[in-house]
Structure 1
Amino acid sequence: MSAVTAQDWIAAWNSHDLDAILAHYAQEIVFVSPASTRITGDPTGRVVGKAALRLYWGKALAGAQDLTFTLRKVFRGPDSLAIAYHSSRTGGEVVEVLRFGPDGLVVEAAAYYE
């Protein structure tokens, strides 16, 4: 199913290494998050394509040097993972759903905040 494990995903985010984070995602990624509208200005919350995601997360990480995620729970689907974690940035719980393409990279992702 996937080349991504929840532990690897959390570790990449906690390292703040943008290349390590993006290594989990396909070129055609579609990412949706209500948080993205603050940086992109797109009211749909959609970020389409790996290059756009690099720009978005690069800006977001630059303003969040204290960001850490703490893994809470993992739910598995036939072609997806839902990762529940605590975000130090928001102080709340988040669920991120990752759907994988045939090569094991994430092609669709959506973040849900408490």
Structure 2
Amino acid sequence: MLTEHKAKEFAEHWIQAWNNHDIESIVSHYAGDVEYFSPFLTRLANNPHGTLRGKWALKEYLAKGLAAYPDLNFVLKNVLFGVRSIVIQYQSVNNLNASEVFEFDENGLVSRVQCHYDKW
């Protein structure tokens, strides 16, 4: 079970990795067979379904995101935690409010991500 401390620690490390534009640190959080769902996939990866699977596919996509937004700087707003999942609320690119739901596997790696934004 996740604790409040572990959830906040994950969120802070995840935000810092993004703000440092450190792709290796970002993808270190994800399992090899991660499932990822995001409306940004339709724009940045020309993926009409908004889904992808696998850590290396995710790494390629996230690298495109870093390249597309060189001034990217996320601002952490809130962290919510459950039994095997957390929700990170943050200010994203273009001042979008974002929430991502991270589900963790038995090894403590992210196995599924659902990304949400307040406008599109």
Tell me if 1:30 matches 2:41.
Answer: no
What does 1:1-114 correspond to in 2, within 5 Å? 1=1, 5-87=10-92, 89-114=93-118
Instruction: Give me the TM-score of the superposition, normalised by structure 1.
Output: 0.93
Listed one character per residue, the Cα deviations across residues 53-75 of structure 1 (whole Å, up to 9, x for unaligned) are 01111111112110011110111
Deviations 1:69-113 (A, max 9, x none): 1110111011000000011x2212100000000000000001100
Deviations 1:22-49 (A, max 9, x none): 0000000011000111122221100110
TM-score (norm 2): 0.89
Structure with higher helix content: 2
Where structure 1 has 5 or more consecutive residues not aligned to the other structure, the ranges are none
CA RMSD of aligned residues (A): 1.3
4+ aligned runs moved over 2 Å, structure 1: 1-4
How far, CA to CA, are the matches of 2:85 and 2:94 in structure 1?
25
Aligned AA (2:105):
G
What is the alpha-carbon distance in structure 2 between the residues aligned to residue 34 and residue 93 of structure 1?
13
